[in-house]
Structures are given as structure tokens and as C-alpha cells.
Structure 1
Amino acid sequence: MARLTELSRSIDGKVAIVTGAASGMGRATAHLFADEGARVVVADLGAERVATVVDEITAAHGAHAAIGIATDVSDLEQLRTLVDDTVAWGSRLDIVVNNAGVSLPNSAFQPEDEFELNWARTLDINLTAHARLIRLALPHLSASGAGRIVNIASTEAIVTTAGLAAYAATKAGVVGITKSFAVELGRHGVTVNCVCPGPINTGMTAGIDATAKETYARRRVPLRRYGAPEEVAQMTLNLCLPASSFVNGAVIPVDGGMTIRHT
């Protein structure tokens, strides 16, 4: 039967970089993209951690489906190498998912040296790296004809937690650069969107007691549970589809309704 619609929901054959892809939402995104036919560059700290995810993907989809590039996203030259090596491997670059991030304690009452260190490190990884990778990837994304950038922020850009000043600031900043780059890059055929995950079961939340998680979810989340990394990855995928070609500058919470709940 012939299709009645024109826009594709396939990323088959696309080449994607996913940062922070060795665990959590990044790993889920890398897996999902590969499941949908994309060729995936797994970028994260630690060659062994990266290799583990690459092995998972290539075992399922073949050696052509993924490569790993150990990358410290806070280092400009390593980001440059990431883009260059991606294009050398895949002959193109269609999708960038800026997922890498850290959550370091950052309080108004911290000792000055600890505050300064954690503030600078958080900004370098959570915000500056996003902007740098977008700029480095832009010539290739523009040449793609349907370039897609998805920045992973957080609901901490909307509602905040005490003691995480730098994290909240950077996630609000991710929303800001998403909107700014979306306006600037649209004319080049590149869309820029942002996903704001809420309470998700990842390494960042692994240290929270299970009972505390359950209590929080009952009180704050209309769906009454924490989310799974793949539930975030599915939204990221949606924003990268050819069919999402008119979605640009969107900021989408994936939080079970947490940020809309008043009582």
C-alpha cells in the first residue's frame, strides 16, 4: 500500500555523535539510534567504558554501526578531533547530541576554592562544550541538508535544587544557547532543540535511596515514578527525524509532568 504522507521517520544511514554515551541517557540514545539504522559515534571519558558500549552496538548491528572516541568534552582540541575523526569514519555528520554533563556540589556556603573549582568544571562540561561542539560540527551539519542538534538540559533549568548552583545555571544556559543557535542556524538547514529530563534513573540519581525516590515520585510526579533513560532517548530521536524538520528551538521536558504540578 502506498504511503499517503511525505515526511520520513527514519534516520537510517545518518551519522550521529552522542556525547556522554558510555552510560545512562547517552548510552540509551546511542543504542536507540543504532537500532534505528544510524551509524553512531560513542563519545565519553574512558576508552574502556566507550568500548563497552561500542561492543554492545556492534554485536547487535555489525562492525559498521558504531565507533568509540574517548573524549573529554571540556577540551577544545579533543572536540575538534572528535568531529574530524567522525567525518573521516562516516564521510558525513548529520546529528549531534550534546548529552555529556556533570553535577557537582556548588553552594553559596562552600569554601571558595571548592566553589571555584566546581563552578568552572561544571561550566566547561555542561555549557561551553555544547557551544564548541556545535560550532565545530556546523559545516558538516549544514552540508547534510538536514542537520540536527539536540542539547540535553534538565528540569533544573526550570525548577532548582539548593546546593547545585552551577548545574542549574548551566542547564538554564543550555536552554539559552539552544534558542540562540536555533534562530541563527535555521537558515542553514540545521535545527537545534533541547530536552529537559526530570527524575530519571541514571548514574546521577543512583545514590538516592530507593525509598526517597518513591516518596518524591508520589509527591511530585503525576506519573508517580522515575523515568527510564530510553524514555528520554526516544524524545531525542523524535527531534532528529526528517519528519521533525519544522521543530526548531523547542525546549521539551521529559519529566512525567513534574514541572507542571502545583499541588
Structure 2
Amino acid sequence: MIMTEDIRSIAGKTAIVTGAASGMGCATARLFAQQGAKVALTDLDQAACDRAAEAIRAEGARGEVLPLAFNVADHEAIRRVIAEVANRLGGIDIIVNNAGIVGFASIDDPENYEKQWQRCIDVMITPHQRIIREALPHLRRSEAARIVNIASTEGLGATPGDSPYVAVKHAVVGLTRALAVDLGPEGITVNCICPGAIHTGMTDDIPDGKKETFARRRVALRRYGRPEEVAQMTLSLVLPAASYLTGAVIPVDGGLTIRNA
């Protein structure tokens, strides 16, 4: 491959980002649009999608932003949205499976545990494969098809009381590796990012003091990360230049997973 300027750019590419009304998803949609990509910004609530899209446009996005609300747990909604994005934005080149929920549940609380287990599966693993499968006809027509699944450092280890979430994030890592093998012969790359402690809506309820203590004790960089820092890694993985990177599982965690004590 000749290294030309255009292979370091996603301008003109079409991307779908789930869970993009806030947090890491919104930061990713913003960065992609700033880079000139056409971005389908999706989440559960249309008003939240509209607000996020308007804010991105107001910041001077070079690419089109299409806000679309749908529930990733709804298979029919996935089919509808994939078709609409391909029709309105002209194909699909990039999928970022980012939508997520909190999954804490005690193994000794059978009712809540079963509920959380099923919710985690319904939101954070089954939709990933469905979105990818529905988008495959379009990805196969792309010159640089890229899939990025957002897992977690919980997909590399475990936290007490979090087994539904942990199990599903391990499954995301497994799905990434398996599909990288399946789709590799077609040049479609599939990679996975495992964010660590990041300032998002999921961590808003943690008191600042506890965040600071955790970061000092567990994170090599001694701080929580920002959604924009995860988005930058996602951008790197979807560039046309990233053509020989697939099946990678990349922690973006400030060194959380490398510390022994």
C-alpha cells in the first residue's frame, strides 16, 4: 500500500455509532464528523440524539450528522436503521458498537441477577452481532470496511458484584476475535477497545473523592480518562491506513491493567 494522505482520512466515509448521545459515543461521533465523515448518531432517545447532533454541527463539523433513535435490543429496529443509514448517507463503511448499560448485580440476589444478566446480553452483545450482520452487505462494498466493538477492562478481568457485565464484555472480546477471523479474507477489520475508568454518565454517580482514590491506587496515569481519549483510539482503528490491524483488543485505561499493586 502506498502511504498517501487520503489513507489517513475518513472524510466521506459513512459511520454508524451506537450509544452516541453522550459519553464515549458522542465524543466518537463528534471526532468522526470533525474529520469529514458522515455519521449516523444513534441512541435510545430522539431528543437526546438531536441535541448531540446540533452541538456537533455548531462546533463546525465537516461531515453530515444524522441523528436516529432506536433500541439496539430491537432486531427489527436494527434492520430499519441500517437500511435508512445506507439509503440516506450512501452506504456504510464503519460500525462502532458502543451502546452500553451498567450491570452490577449480586449473585445472591436471584431476581435482580437474572434481570441484569438478560439486560446485559440484550444490550451489549446480541446487538453487536446483529448490527454487523445487517450491515455486512454494505460493508462488503466498502473499500475500507471497519468494525470497532467497545468492550471494557472488565472484559480483561473482573470486579466483584459485576458478573453479568463482566461476562458480556468478555463475550465482546470473543466476538471481535472470531469475526476478525471470519471477515479477514474480505479485508474487513474487526477490533475491540477496552476502556478503563472514564468520565462518562456511567461514572457520574461515583463521588469525586472515590474516583481520585481509585485512580491513585490503580491507574498508572493516576487519573480517570476522558471520552475524547477513547475516541482518538477509535479513529485510529477505522482509518483506511489501519488495514493490517484486526482482532486486536486494546486497553485504553491509563495503565489500569498493567499495575500489580
TM-score by length of 1: 0.95
User: Structure 2 unaligned runs (5+)?
Assistant: none
| 1:93 maps to 2:92 | yes
2:105 alignment partner in structure 1: 106
Alpha-carbon distance in 2 for matches of 1:231, 1:174: 21
- Write the deviation string for residues 20-54 of structure 1: whole angstroms up to 9, x where unpaired: 00010000000000011101001101111010111
Matched letter for residue 12 of structure 2: G
1:55-94 equivalence runs, <5 A = 55-61=54-60, 65-94=64-93
2:258 alignment partner in structure 1: 260
Alpha-carbon distance in 2 for matches of 1:133, 1:5: 31
- Write the deviation string for residues 152-201 of structure 1: whole angstroms up to 9, x where unpaired: 00000112111111100010000000000000001122100000000000
2:140 alignment partner in structure 1: 142
Q: Relative to structure 1, is the Cα distance of residues 256 and 113 closer, same or farther in structure 2, using a 3 angstrom cutoff?
A: same
Choose 93-102 or 138-147, whichever is displaced more: 138-147
Choose 53-62 or 158-167, whichever is displaced more: 53-62
- SS of match in other structure, 1:234: helix
Tell me if the contact between 1:145 and 1:190 (Cα under 8 Å) persists in the aligned partners: no
1:209 alignment partner in structure 2: 207
Query: Out of 156, 164, 177, which is 1:166 matched to?
Result: 164
Query: Out of 184, 187, 191, which is 1:186 matched to?
Result: 184
- Write the deviation string for residues 40-69 of structure 1: whole angstroms up to 9, x where unpaired: 001101111010111112233469611111
Alpha-carbon distance in 2 for matches of 1:162, 1:204: 17
1:112-151 equivalence runs, <5 A = 112-151=110-149
User: Structure 1 unaligned runs (5+)?
Assistant: none
- SS of match in other structure, 1:242: coil
Matched letter for residue 33 of structure 2: A
User: Displacement, 1:118?
Assistant: 1.3
TM-score by length of 2: 0.96
2:235 alignment partner in structure 1: 237
Choose 5-14 or 246-255, whichever is displaced more: 5-14
- SS of match in other structure, 1:259: helix
Choose 54-63 or 229-238, whichever is displaced more: 54-63
Matched letter for residue 99 of structure 2: A
Q: Relative to structure 1, is the Cα distance of residues 144 and 115 closer, same or farther in structure 2, using a 3 angstrom cutoff?
A: same
Matched letter for residue 91 of structure 2: R
Tell me if the contact between 2:40 and 2:66 (Cα under 8 Å) persists in the aligned partners: yes
Tell me if the contact between 1:182 and 1:191 (Cα under 8 Å) persists in the aligned partners: yes
